[in-house]
Amino acid sequence: MAANPFTYTKAVVCGIPASLPATALRMEETDEPVDLGKARQQHEDYLQVLTELVGEVHVIPTDERYPDCVFVEDPVVVCGDTALITIPGHESRRGETVAMKEAMEKIGLKIVEMLDPGRMDGGDVLFTGKEFFVGQSQRTNKHGLQQLAAAFPNFPVTGIPVREGLHLKSFLSMATPNHIAMGSSSAALDAKQLIETEGKFKYSYRYLQVPDDIGANCLYINGTIVHANNETFPKSCKVFEKFVDADVKAKIALSASEVNKVDGCFTCCSVLIN
C-alpha cells in the first residue's frame, strides 16, 4: 500500500438508471420527486471531477433491474490490493455484487467474498487510513464486521452503532488523512464519542463539524476535498470553504441534491482504489 492511503489511482462508478426515481430505496417515504435529468447531469459533473483527480475511471454498465446500482460503494470494500465483495443488507441490492466482482477482477484486485450470515453495506465502512470504523446499522451486522476484520487483518476494526440515518457515512467521512468531517446530529456526536473512546488505534483525530449530516459527507482525493455546494447545504459549504489545512491543496463544491433524496451522497457513488 502507498504511504498515503488517500492517494488514489483508479475509481469505479455506475450510471444512474431510469428506475431510480420511482423505485430506489428510501429510509423515509416522501413526496419529493427525483429529477432524473438533473440527477444524471450532477452525476456527469461528479464523473468529470473524478476523472480529473484520479485519471482512470471504470464505469460499470447501468442495470435497470437495480435502481440503487449507482451507489457502488455498498457492494464492495476496497483497501490496498484487496476487494471484499459484501452481501448488501437489503435483499434487493444483492444482485449488484456480480458486476462489482467482475470490475474488481478486471482491475486486478484480490477478491474476498463475504459469506452468509454476514451483511454489509460499504456506506457503513469508514477507513481512516489507520483503522476501520464500521457502522452497525440496519444494513450491516456483527458477522459482516468480523469478516471485514478477517479480510483486512493489518487494520483494527471497531463497530459503531448507527441509531439514526442509513449508514455511518451518512454523517461521518474523511476530510483529510487526520480530519473526520461530521454532522451535528445526536447520532454524529455519539459516533464521535465512540471513536474517541472505543477506537483500537487510540489515534487523536481532529474533527471538522458542519451543521448538516449529509453535508458532512465529502471525498478526500489526492489532496482535494469534494464537498457539498452552496445550492444544497449552504451552511456546511461555508465551513468547508473556510477550512484550511496543510493536507488540502484544493476544494471542489458539487451538488448531489437528487441522489440525496434517496439517501445517497458523494462517497456512495464511487469506489476509490489506492
What's the maximum distance between 2 C-alpha atoms anywhere in the chain? 47
5 cis-preceded (ω within 30 degrees of 0): no
Please compute, for residue 70, the number of CA atoms within 13 A of its CA located in the half-sphere on the CB side. 29
Asked if residue 2 is part of any domain, the answer here is: no
pLDDT digits (tens, 9 = 90+) for 8-19: 999 999 999 999
Q: Helix or strand or coil: residue 96?
A: helix
Q: Is 258 marked as a binding-site residue?
A: no
Residues 57, 59, 60: CA angle, nearest 5 degrees: 145
Note whether residue 159 is domain-resident.
yes
Look up residue 69 and give its three cell numbers: 446500482
| 137 domain residue, yes or no | yes
Q: Which residue has the higher pLDDT, 104 or 30?
A: 104
Does the residue 1 lie in any domain? no
Single out the residue of 128, 147, 145 nearest to residue 137, CA to CA: 145
| CATH code of the domain containing 229 | 3.75.10.10
Residue 4 inside a domain? The answer is no
Flag whether 5 is in a domain. Answer: no
Residue with cell 451522497: 265
pTM of the entire predicted model: 0.96
Structurally, the chain folds into a number of domains equal to 1
Query: Quick check: is 41 in a domain?
Result: yes
Name the pairing type of β-strands 172-174 and 179-182.
antiparallel
Q: Is 91 within a domain?
A: yes
Establish whether 269 is a catalytic residue: no
- Strands in 82-85's sheet, in edge-to-edge order, are 76-79, 82-85, 110-113
pLDDT tens-place string over residues 220-257: 999 999 999 999 999 999 999 999 999 999 999 999 99
Catalytic residue among 79, 218, 268, 269: 268
73 assigned binding-site residue: yes
CA angle 182, 80, 253 (to 5 degrees): 35
- Domain range for 60: 10-273
Active site residue 143: no
Residue 212 annotated in ligand binding:
no
Q: What is the pLDDT of residues 139-191, one digit of tens each?
A: 999 999 999 999 999 999 999 999 889 999 999 999 999 999 999 999 999 99
The dihedrals phi and psi of 59, each to the nearest 5 degrees, come to -110, 115
Tens-place pLDDT, residues 191-216: 999 999 999 888 899 999 999 999 99
Which phi and psi angles does 84 have, rounded to 5°?
-90, 110
Kindly name the residue from 14, 43, 167, 265 that is annotated as catalytic.
Answer: 167
Task: Tell me if 68 is assigned to a ligand binding site.
Answer: yes
Does residue 1 register a pLDDT over 70?
no
Please tell me whether 76 is known to bind a ligand: no
